Chains A and B, each alone.
Chain A
Amino acid sequence: MTTEKTTRAQALKAEPKSRTTARTSATTSATAGTATRRKAAEKSGEHVYDTLIIGAGFAGLGTAIKLREAGVHNIAILERAAEVGGTWRDNQYPGAACDIPSNLYSFSFAPNPNWSRSYSGSKEILGYVHSLVNDFGLGSLIQYQQNVSRVEFEEAQGIWMIHTDNGKVWKGKAVIMASGPLANASFPNIRGLENYKGKKIHSAQWDHEYDFTGKRVAVIGTGASAIQIIPELVKKVDVLKVFQRTPAWVMPRPDFSTSDLSKKVFAKLPFTQKAVREALYWAHESMALAVIWSSPVTRLGERLGQAFLKSQVPDPWMRRQLKPDYKLGCKRILVSNDYYPALQKENCELITWPIANIVEKGIRTSEGIEHRVDCIVFATGFDVPKSGTPYPIHGVGGRELAKEWQRGAQAYKSINVSGYPNLYIMFGPNSGPGHNSALVYMEQQIAYAVKGIRTILDSNLKMLDVKPDVQAKHNANIQKRLAKTNWNSGCKSWYLTEDGFNATMFPGFATQYAAQMGQFDLKAYRQVPVEVNA
């Protein structure tokens, strides 16, 4: 572990290119022999990894780094695309950026002193993800274009079998499901969607070849992606029609470019960046009082939101259309300084009439008008698995996770599910943050999973399976706490299932989540050792 840290610290001082080469060659020489043996075993389909990681996004790469730090080297990362980056690779639409300050939206163990802005754009974040691969020499672990189609637990040997689209079967003692909750683009259920003959683009599958100049464009959705896309598109297109269903709370974004001086200070004196990160962490923690629970701070936040709306939108009717009628925090809070001004540009129109259907040339709304457009941008978010899984997962005795989650997903501490031993779900049920950086939560999940995997390997366990009663008790407590939160206060959001079950969010401070994940209680698990004669 120390060697890793030292190497990285040395590498950070070096030029990026030489850093990469130095790191990669060091790793390669150390594992050359093992790699050859592994490749031969892989070919024959016999190699059993200590851990298989699904997804090479933040979570997958972060887990790989920490597993190796904990001495687990026999690992592979299965990535469905040809590039790393997950959500940040897919979401490269114009204006894509993070809602959390970069100093907090990065791993604490891999600080980047060179962030160009307080809130970085997606390209820069993707660059950071790439730097993780280079700096920590993860390249050799990643198996690209391995789209997982099925995951099954082989009980007799205590081995997970991961089937990929190309017919391969990967075997692992443990699995990290790091495919992410925001992995699959979701198209809205609108009548006649298939009849539209113009261009269709989803925010998460952006077509960079399409030239928007002079086009008539519709944007469906006014969520987190839309409010970043709209200010960019309105600069290029002839006409932009924004179709809003529910207005969101929009707050000002304290975005600024970082000075060269601060970059130098952060690089030379890392503790200063650590202090800034700490300050940002506690600033976001305090926001929980407004976002998670209904309190006087919530009312204060709502007043701020209303004042911001009033200061940016002079027309009362437009303000009425943009004013949310649910509690602050019930749905995701958005931050933008240029969304409201973009909506008021001459070539932009905010349409709040319900969409009746989509026809060959455009969108018909219920006020009887056909809005003709050359392109429809679907900023309609993701298919977040609240009651299903992105691929079939079969546990002990062939049980299927999607079936068990039909009425709402649940897990133990958001990461383990009873009946699915040795499986760790990153951003599993009730791990969602509403007020703080997802990476703060992710680091806790990674640390927990590493403890679990270390236990499996150290004790030579076939199964480390959370006890069903422990899981049930944990969830009863989570749901009891959720009942008192703003998310469960009556609005419809992607946090909830159709029945109003909240399988998404963690009802507390990030500090509380860290405390929950900090305790690895072996008594909560059923431990089945590998039979000696097996």
Chain B
Amino acid sequence: MPQLDLEKTLRRIKENQWALADIDWDAPGREMITEEQWPKLKAFMADLTWIEHIGARGFAAMAKKAPNDTLREIYTWFHAEEQRHANAELALMQRWGMLEDGEIPEPNINLRLTIEWLDKYSDDMPLSVLGSVIPMLEVTLDGALCKFLLDEVKDPVCHEVFKKINSDEARHLGVDFHVLEMMGHGPMYRLALESIATAINPKLLLGVAVYFPLLNRMRDNIVTMGLKEEKLYEAMAKFEKYGGETPEGRRNPWYQIMRLHGKWVIDRKNRFYHAPVDAAVKASNYIPKSWLPAVPSWVNKLTWHTTA
């Protein structure tokens, strides 16, 4: 992807803001959700809402690490936009009768663990790590899930909402890959040394321990809901394609690490990777809820109400 003019991007972000109130949530179309679809869709939307929050929390941390004011401001807006996407998805759930009044769907255990990690450690992570993981997650999960949703759901309001969400996401990915490439600048030895120093950080290793099972869990959930596994892998391949388009992008050690990891995820025959990670997914089912600390207070800001 070509280098971006960040100032112009920031201007566009400000010009293209939309609000929940811009959408007619009572417009016809809710009846297009079939009874068979409904329970699967409810679980799917719950996951999607929380995945938006992984992006949101990531951007919040990146705003603190941004190397300049413009990028800092962009990440601050992106943080809010991810929250807007989560709010809009909740509003869809509300429209489809999936929420009791005031109810916020619960995240699955692996999402919960990832959020816990993000909340505790992401502010301490260098931009190089966050700036590589976030695009991978956005391309993979967001991309695949949204596509699936639009293939399956006929409700026009859902399409209207995701048209807006996808337009925001396109800008997010533009900046994501711009930064991925930006971090590939500089002498190779310095990039490598910095990456090694970060990779052996225990906080990061803990992050890996929650991130790997999350991807496998989402893969399983997607398959359960009827999405072909390949669609997820196609989305993952996009990360490799866009991130590796320029020599600088390819020189970023974190791009290479994420790419390699993506290959392991895609290769279901790779038992060395999948056996322990799948076991971790299963094991996480047994973590008692009482062991988890209280959800961070930012969770309470989620709302499907258009006005407050």
Interface residues, chain A, with chain B CB atoms under 8 Å away: 191, 315-318, 320, 325, 353-354, 356-357, 361-362, 364-372, 492
A369-B306, A372-B307 known; A317-B297 Cβ under 8 A: yes
Distance, CA A365 to CA B305, complexed state (A): 13
Tell whether, in the assembled complex, residue A315 and residue B297 are in contact, meaning their CB atoms are under 8 Å apart.
yes
Q: Within the complex, what minimum Cβ distance (angstroms) separates A302 from chain B?
A: 16
Interface residues, chain B, with chain A CB atoms under 8 Å away: 14, 17-21, 64, 69, 73, 76-77, 80-81, 83-84, 87-88, 119, 123, 296-298, 301, 303, 305-308
CB-defined contacts of B308 to chain A, threshold 8 Å: 369-372
Q: Within the complex, what minimum Cβ distance (angstroms) separates A361 from chain B?
A: 8
CB-defined contacts of B20 to chain A, threshold 8 Å: 368-370
Q: Within the complex, what minimum Cβ distance (angstroms) separates B293 from chain A?
A: 10
Tell whether, in the assembled complex, residue A370 and residue B77 are in contact, meaning their CB atoms are under 8 Å apart.
no
A316-B296, A353-B83 known; A369-B17 Cβ under 8 A: no
Tell whether, in the assembled complex, residue A354 and residue B77 are in contact, meaning their CB atoms are under 8 Å apart.
yes
CB-defined contacts of A316 to chain B, threshold 8 Å: 296-297
CB-defined contacts of B18 to chain A, threshold 8 Å: 368
Q: A-B contact count, CB below 8 Å?
A: 65
Additional A-B contact list (15), CB under 8 Å, known A317-B296, A317-B297, A371-B307: A191-B14, A353-B83, A354-B73, A354-B76, A356-B19, A357-B17, A366-B81, A366-B84, A367-B87, A368-B19, A368-B83, A369-B19, A369-B20, A369-B303, A372-B307
Distance, CA A357 to CA B306, complexed state (A): 15
Distance, CA A371 to CA B296, complexed state (A): 23
Q: Within the complex, what minimum Cβ distance (angstroms) separates B285 from chain A?
A: 28
The 3 closest A-B pairs by CB, nearest first: A368-B84, A366-B80, A356-B17
Distance, CA A316 to CA B18, complexed state (A): 30
Residue in chain A with minimal CB distance to B302: A367
Q: Within the complex, what minimum Cβ distance (angstroms) separates B113 from chain A?
A: 18
CB-defined contacts of B297 to chain A, threshold 8 Å: 315-318
Distance, CA A317 to CA B298, complexed state (A): 7
Residue in chain A with minimal CB distance to B76: A354
Distance, CA A366 to CA B77, complexed state (A): 7
CB-defined contacts of A361 to chain B, threshold 8 Å: 307
Tell whether, in the assembled complex, residue A320 and residue B69 are in contact, meaning their CB atoms are under 8 Å apart.
no
14 contacts between A and B (CB under 8 A): A320-B123, A354-B73, A357-B17, A364-B17, A366-B77, A366-B80, A366-B81, A367-B84, A367-B301, A368-B20, A369-B20, A369-B308, A371-B307, A371-B308
Residue in chain B with minimal CB distance to A365: B80
Distance, CA A316 to CA B116, complexed state (A): 13
CB-defined contacts of B84 to chain A, threshold 8 Å: 366-368
